[in-house]
Amino acid sequence: MIMSNKNKYSLETVEKVYSYWGKSLLTYKLGVSFFGFDSYIRRKALEELKLKKGSTVVDLACGQGIMFRLLEEKIGEKGRIIAVDYVEEMIKQCRKLAARKKWGNITFIKQDAAKLRLKNNYADGIISVIGLSAIPDHKKALKNCHHALKKGSRLVVIDGKDFSSKYKFLNPILKLLRWSKSYEKKDLINDIKKIFGNIKVNEYFLGSTFMAVAVKR
Ligand SMILES: C[S@@+](CC[C@H](N)C(=O)[O-])C[C@H]1O[C@@H](n2cnc3c(N)ncnc32)[C@H](O)[C@@H]1O
């Protein structure tokens, strides 16, 4: 099927949709709430990152910075968070949050993750929570993550997928719950595996959410 430009998922769409989301904390929080298991699943991701005090971690497509508190607890004030998001409104909310919490160790980068060029062997970990699916050129973004990670460090991705086969009859519901445009034609798990050469996947909520961990070898 040929998609018209109007329907193509692009940076323009990202700008439009997430500028609105950035202004509305309630809508946004509901969108990333994981049916009330938000804290549980984010803590699991944090464990998988294997960060230490003083680590440098990238929060890719960080949104309003919901991951910051857990990351700060883990890395401490000598650590560094590199917060990347394409949308100005999101970065603005992140800056406000950091100022309110007096977190002085966050670097904010307003950038398309596909164009992000961090130093090679720089990061001790990269996390993306419902971020990868939102990035139009997620494959380029993944290559940039691979480049930026230190050897032995991890990329942890939490994102959505279709229900696992036993429950696939529920898939039409996802169209209603999810802003499905960004999920079209993306096989995030396979793409992570291709670029990193390894992957561990855990599924949640009958398979409709996954956590992928890939190690830079
Ligand atoms: C659902 S939100 C992320 C939620 C957030 N990671 C969290 O922990 O709750 C998706 C984010 O992806 C960002 N985004 C979309 N495309 C992007 C791109 N090309 N580069 C960087 N960020 C992007 C959006 O601006 C939005 O803030």
Instruction: Tell how far the Cα of 166 is from the centroid of ligand 1, in angstroms.
Output: 30
Ligand 1 touching residue 91 (CB < 6 A): no
Instruction: Tell how far the Cα of 163 is from the centroid of ligand 1, in angstroms.
Output: 22
Ligand 1 touching residue 108 (CB < 6 A): no
Q: Is the pLDDT of residue 24 over 70?
A: yes
pLDDT band at 23 (very low <50, low <70, confident <90, very high): confident
Q: pLDDT value at position 126?
A: 98
Domains of the chain are 5-215 (3.40.50.150)
Nearest CA, atom 2, ligand 1? 63
Q: Is the pLDDT of residue 1 over 60?
A: no
Residues 6+ apart with CB under 8 A from 180: 174
Q: How far is CA 108 from CA 32, 83, 136, 172, in A?
A: 21, 5, 20, 37
Ligand 1 touching residue 112 (CB < 6 A): yes
Ligand 1 touching residue 67 (CB < 6 A): yes
Ligand 1 touching residue 127 (CB < 6 A): no
Nearest CA, atom 3, ligand 1? 63
Alpha helices in 50-182 (DSSP H): 68-75, 88-101, 138-148, 171-177
| Over residues 110-136, mean pLDDT | 96
Ligand 1 touching residue 160 (CB < 6 A): no
Q: How far is CA 195 from CA 82, 91, 95, 166, 213, in A?
A: 22, 28, 32, 29, 12
As beta bridge partners, residue 123 has: 149
Identify the burial level of 167 via C-beta atoms within 10 angstroms of its C-beta, where 0-12 means exposed, 13-18 middle and 19 or more buried: middle
* pLDDT per position as a tens digit, 27-56: 666 666 777 788 999 999 999 999 999 999
Ligand 1 touching residue 61 (CB < 6 A): yes
Residue to probe by mutation, ligand 1, list 135, 140, 156, most atoms within 8 Å of CB: 135
pTM: 0.93
| Over residues 150-165, mean pLDDT | 93
